[in-house]
Chain A
Amino acid sequence: MNTAIRNFGAATVVDITGHIDLGSSPALRKAMLECLKGTDRMAANLAGVKYIDSSGIASLLEVLKEARKSKKKFVLFGLTAGVREVLQLTRLTGVFEIFESEDGALGSALSHGSSCP
């Protein structure tokens, strides 16, 4: 699993690639929480995620919790079929704000007046 960070003014995109499992989810959690500290609006690009398990979902959920606590915005985009299925099975599709494209995610992340869903 790898992460890369791109900044777009007030928003940050985290590109995540590879397998997110018990071995890699702690690093993902740490990288995203660290990134969240330096931005008000963060979007996770999951298009390159080949696999995610419940520990990875828990990491994303923890980032969302922290974002809400800090009155920041955290959204997801580029979900592969596998990632979407895991979110559906764990009934979390309604908890996260999910976008098809980076433009949509950035548009949401950059919008004012709706910092948290």
Chain B
Amino acid sequence: MNRAEVLIRFLVPSDPCYLSVVRATVGELAAVCGLREQECRAMTLAVDEAMANVIRHAYRGDPAHAIEVECEGRADRLNFTLLDQGAAPDMARLQPHPLDDWSLSGRGTHLIRSAMDEVHYERVPRGNQLRLSKLLPAPARAGKKEGL
């Protein structure tokens, strides 16, 4: 593996109590890859919202399933891939839509799209795959910590 690349894989139960574990890793990885504090929080929020969507919608709140999460740091981008074997998402929910001040739902997808440069859903043989990508600006790439 190139020393500028890193790949972290999780296989976590679809139980909300594990969300904080993945959040901690995503935030730290984004920081190591040179993103600013605010961007690290945005990355963390986006991946967390995507996992919450899987738990709520694909698995309908059942904590007995599995979610595969892959966090990949590359020279020019961060990729986060989620894979689940639950119900396929409502594609309309994944599309950008205007926010309603008083609506209690629909903000998660907006937060994901706000933080990420690319959001791509695909039905694959192993289930539902959501890939989130954040392009790293040149100064962030140059500012990567030594030793990776």
Check: B20 CB closer than 8 A to any chain A CB: yes
Contact flags (1/0) for B22-57 with A, using CB distance below 8 Å?
A: 010000000000000110011011001100100110
Residue of B nearest to A64 (CB): B102
- In terms of DSSP, what is the predominant structure of the interface of chain B? helix
Contact flag A22-B16 (CB < 8 Å), given A51-B23, A53-B108? yes
In-complex Cβ contact of B107 among A22, A51, A90 (8 A): A90
A residues 79-104 near B (Cβ < 8 Å) are 81-82, 85-86, 89-92, 95
Check: B17 CB closer than 8 A to any chain A CB: yes
Check: B1 CB closer than 8 A to any chain A CB: no
Contacts of A95 on B, CB cut-off 8 Å? 101-102
Contact A54 B108 (CB under 8 A): yes
Contact A53 B38 (CB under 8 A): no
Check: A6 CB closer than 8 A to any chain B CB: no
Would you give the shortest CB distance from A56 to chain B, in whole angstroms? Answer: 10
Check: A30 CB closer than 8 A to any chain B CB: no
Q: Bound state CA distance, A58 and B101, in angstroms?
A: 11
Would you give the shortest CB distance from B15 to chain A, in whole angstroms? Answer: 8
Would you give the shortest CB distance from B67 to chain A, in whole angstroms? Answer: 12
Contact flags (1/0) for A58-84 with B, using CB distance below 8 Å?
A: 100110010000000000000001100
Residue of B nearest to A68 (CB): B102
Would you give the shortest CB distance from B94 to chain A, in whole angstroms? Answer: 14
In-complex Cβ contact of A86 among B37, B99, B102, B111 (8 A): B111
Contact A21 B16 (CB under 8 A): yes
Contact B108 A19 (CB under 8 A): no
Q: Bound state CA distance, A19 and B17, in angstroms?
A: 11
Would you give the shortest CB distance from A58 to chain B, in whole angstroms? Answer: 4
Contact A58 B110 (CB under 8 A): no
Contact A53 B48 (CB under 8 A): yes
Contacts of B111 on A, CB cut-off 8 Å? 53-54, 86, 89-90
Contact B107 A54 (CB under 8 A): yes
In-complex Cβ contact of B20 among A19, A55, A57, A85 (8 A): A19
Check: A107 CB closer than 8 A to any chain B CB: no
Contact A65 B102 (CB under 8 A): yes
Contact flags (1/0) for B44-85 with A, using CB distance below 8 Å?
A: 110011001001100000000000000000000000000000
- Can you name 5 extra interface pairs (CB under 8 A) apart from A81-B38, A85-B38, A91-B101? A22-B56, A54-B52, A82-B41, A89-B42, A90-B111
